[in-house]
Amino acid sequence: MMFSLADKNVIITGAGSGIGKSTAVLFAQQGATIHLVDINNAQATETAEEISKAGGQAVVHIIDVSNQEQVVTAFDKIDKIDILVNSAGISHIGKLETTAVADFDRVFNVNVKGVYNCLFAAIHNMKKNNGGVILNVSSIAALVGIQDRFAYSMTKGAVTAMTLSVARDYLADNIRCNCISPARVHTSFVDGFLAKNYPGKEKEMFDKLSKTQPIGRMAKPVEIAHLILYLCSDEAAFITGCDYPIDGGFVKLNN
């Protein structure tokens, strides 16, 4: 079977919802044992139950990725880490002058420090076990200027830079590291954002946001998960140090 993950241990952060959840479910279908990392117990447990009902294997780890001690303690309990998917992240709406220090720190701590903490906690395990694969979820916000996304764009630029650094530093250890840069993905975050900021106009604004992608719609989380699966599979063994936009034409076709 192509893209088989049989006998592989996979850590997925942000696995309780959105891209992380879809990736966890898909990877379990491919035979992996999934370690679900999330700060939300109810959502992570729901993902684990979905995987279990389908015959897969999942273990829940309720931790805050911005806390290095929690991350290291959890990862050290996993005997072998074959794949790490850093999907946990939060957003922030605002430009430079409307981004408070507290907002900046909050987004940085999850989106940058959280990725760093997970990389730090996993890398020695992968070196000890003669290799591994890392996939970081960045964003098109790291590639183009997006209005009112100052702090968020900063963090995703850092994720892309960390990806390249790790890929270069651990070539000799048989560790591959890539990232993907999605455009808008239809997750519960989008629905919550529209309900909060555009009450009564959710459908109108959803259509407007969808059409910012030249393809005319937002991505589905599972479509992002399919690319993650390829890049983490043995079929992608020659790929490292790359960023893959998955954006419905946003970066190259918007004029």
pLDDT 10s digits, 158-175: 999 999 999 999 999 999
Residue 85, beta-bridge partner list: 12, 135
- 116, 152, 198, 230: the active-site residue: 152
pLDDT over 70 percentage in the chain: 100
| Separation between Cα atoms, residue 147 and residue 150, nearest integer Å | 8
pLDDT above 70: residue 47 = yes
Confidence of residue 219 (pLDDT cuts 50, 70, 90): very high
Mean pLDDT, range 58-71, rounded to an integer = 98
Query: Residue 158: how many CB atoms within 10 A of its CB?
Result: 18
pLDDT at 207: 96
Please indicate whether residue 244 is annotated as part of the active site. no
Q: Which residues contact 194 (CB under 8 A, 6 or more apart)?
A: 201, 202, 205, 206
Per-residue pLDDT band at 188 (split at 50, 70, 90): confident
Read off the pLDDT of residues 83-132 as tens digits, 9 standing for 90 and up.
999 999 999 999 999 999 999 999 999 999 999 999 999 999 999 999 99
User: Hey, how many other C-beta atoms are within 10 angstroms of the C-beta on 84?
Assistant: 29
pLDDT confidence band for 196 (50 / 70 / 90): confident
pLDDT score for 255: 66
Cα 144–chain centre separation = 19
Which among 149, 47, 165 is positioned nearest to 115, based on CA atoms?
165
Residue-range domains of the chain with CATH: 9-183+220-243 (3.40.50.720), 184-218 (no CATH)
